[in-house]
A and B are shown apart, each in its own frame.
Chain A
Amino acid sequence: MRAQVMGTIVQIAAARTGKLLVALWILALVILVAVPVTGLFQGEFLGSLAFSVLPVTILLNISIVLAHYVENGSVRIAKAAWLGVAVAALLITLYAFDGRPNSDIGIFLAWFTLVLAFPISLLVALLFTGVAIAAEKLFSAVIPESYLLLLVNWVCFIAAGYWQWFVLLPWLWRKWKTLPLQN
């Protein structure tokens, strides 16, 4: 399995764009390891781990776009990395949740999912905000942070992000490539 992945990466790196893609993955991996390790020595492991996820997510988003261009198996690796980071963020969130209805971990999850699924995440966030306003206006109810709400938020954002990056984007890419032929 590892040899297969390494072989795929070598194939990807053969192309010029592929080199950039591999460089992005390496950079993301370095950040994901180096920042939390540094934080570990400073007594801020959790905060550093959470912070490292944000730039890594941006790099992975860029890599997904490049992967669709490069193809040659790179999309599968990008997808795996993207999902891996998403799951990691969920684990961080659930671990750090302190049970309070206005727990700060909701801020982390919001920023993370907004970046991971950008730009469709804005629509999802708008939907959640609308629901919250409606609940307040109609029922004078406030939606508190909870494990369930955090999970629902994550699922909704990740589902939207997955659809955006791995369904919509390939479809658009294919459309784009076939556009000159149609013309």
Chain B
Amino acid sequence: MATKAPFAFLLVGLALFEPVSLAWAKKDKVEVTLTAPAAGALYHAPAAITLSAIARAKQKSHPIVKVQFFQGRKLIGTVRSPRAHNQYTFNWANVAAGSYLVMAKATNDKGDTDLSEPVSITVNALPNVAITAPANNAVLAAPATFTVTANASDGDGSIAKVEFYNRATLIGTATSAPYSVTLSDAAAGVLNLRATAIDNRGASSTSAPVTVIVNSLPSVSLTSPTSNASFKAPANIPLMVQVADTDGSIARVEFFHGTTLITALSAPPYSFGWTEVPQGTYALTARVTDNLGGSVTSSLVNVTVNAAEAKLYYIHTDHLDTPREIYNQAQQLVWRRQHQEPFSDSPPDENPSGLGVFEFPLRESIYYGDKETGMQYAMFRDCYDPATGRFCESDPIGLRGGIKPYLYVGANPLSWTDPFGLKAVQCRKPLDSMGGTGTRSGPDIWGNPAYHQYSCVIDANGQITCGGQDRTGSALGSPGKPSKDTYDPQRCEPTYDNKCFDDCLKNEWKKPRPKYGIPFGTDCQEYDDDVNSRCRKKCGLK
């Protein structure tokens, strides 16, 4: 028994030595050291960190096959060949803020490994910064004094300071919240503001730029009317301003009386004729706005419009009611219009006696003459062009007014008028029983009584209403009744175009018809002539 004990101890000792010796043998065969980053190194997120390790194989017959880099237990990269002699490098990109423990592990072709000592590093979060005032593209009036304010924060530390820049020029530094600086008397121009926040670890961030426009305001003065000017109602007051803008252009000029807008003008000349101003006292101002939105209001101008002073003028018209001459109460000629041609293309003489200009806009058919364009406003049509003797706009009732919808009064301006650009018409047609192609049965000559006569009114909507006299029985005597007529432009001629006249005709046609009879009674011709005559008289027409 005593001889077997040393042997047993030997066996136990061998058994214990084997794993230890194997481990020792492996360790000795590979060696790795993390050379970068240095312990305690500081980076700013998102960080790009270069990990570098020196790995050696103790036995040349068993070279290093890979070096692995770990962050804690997490493998972050594997490098299989050295960049330089035994130096293995790995670029760890976009490393977020935080503290990390990194190490390297080398492995040879037999699977022997070695683990480096861990190295602790820190990745610092960048501060956040944004300018909160003024707003981007804010427009301020020069000289501008304003405060630039920024919000700044740091997720893993604190803000040490915030620096404010206009382009590359430092304009101020703030070290405590709220982070702001005041800019005084900034001249006209465009400012490009940025804020840079620096945290307690020295990391910095720059805000998005904010553009501020310092605008030189325009100038404005009301040159007309003059202060304390007086007018007579209904007054025509010319409004004029003098405006200027040194760093841009004028976008709009508005005229006010009190707070009430009179008119807004967007193009020069910034003048306006304020017409038909009733009696009263008015505080006039003009407000000018430049292209950057800067606006200035002129100083106040007070004007007085006194009570109207009625003046009597005598208007002499021709057979078509077209004004020809106007005389004042002293029987002095103040306005005259003598035609050299029939379509009203001759301008009026507004100062025939040297008494001053007298403006009177009514023209042919009582159209409104526009001196500037030479055109005439024709109620239901935009214009009548006296140069060509035609309307500029087609007849609103279309071809029902005839096949020449631009024609003015059938090209007969010496006999007819068309005040509304429409017409009331008087029509003649052949007797049904005898027929005919013209306006009468038989020859279309004066004295031939064989025709039916009626009138039609064409309103602005193109609706045509016709009215006339018919009978229920014998031509020598029977009750009258409305005739059933239709508008035929070939058989109708314009009479008057006057709303009063048109309405009067329609009203007359609603009334019961008189007794029909030849010669004792009212036939269609007599009825139509009577109705037209009554309406002319009622409406003061010739």
The interface of chain A, by Cβ under 8 A from chain B, is 35, 38-39, 42-44, 46-52, 54, 96-98, 100-111, 114, 122, 125-126, 128-133, 136, 142-145, 149, 153
Contacts and interface: CB of A to CB of B under 8 A. Distances in A.
Given A42-B437, A47-B436, A142 B479 contact: yes
Contact of A105 (B431, B452, B518): B431
Given A44-B441, A144-B474, A145-B474, A50 B434 contact: yes
Contacts of B476: 106, 110, 125, 128-129, 132, 153
B519 A114 contact: yes
Interface residues of B, number: 34
Contacts of A96: 433-434
Contacts of B471: 102
Interface stretch (B113-121, B219-227, B442-450): B442-450
B441 to A, nearest CB: 3
A98 B432 contact: yes
Given A50-B441, A107-B475, 19 more contacts: A39-B443, A44-B430, A44-B436, A44-B438, A44-B442, A47-B435, A47-B442, A50-B450, A51-B443, A100-B432, A101-B472, A104-B431, A107-B449, A111-B518, A129-B476, A132-B473, A144-B473, A145-B473, A153-B476
Contacts of A50: 434, 441-442, 450
A21 B437 CA distance: 36
Given A47-B441, A47-B442, A51-B441, A109 B435 contact: no
A39 B474 contact: no
A44 B444 CA distance: 11
A143 B478 contact: yes
A131 B449 contact: no
A118 to B, nearest CB: 10
B209 interface: no
A100 B474 CA distance: 10
A130 B521 CA distance: 11
Contacts of A153: 474, 476
Contacts of B374: none
A78 B462 CA distance: 56
Contacts of A51: 440-443, 448, 450
Contacts of A52: 442
B479 A43 contact: no
Contact of B435 (A46, A97, A108, A125): A46
A16 B127 CA distance: 137
A114 B433 CA distance: 19
Contacts of B9: none
B475 A129 contact: no
A97 B473 CA distance: 13
B389 interface: no
Contacts of B474: 106, 128, 132, 143-145, 149, 153
A39 B441 CA distance: 10
A48 B433 contact: no
Given A39-B442, A51-B441, A126-B520, A142 B433 contact: no
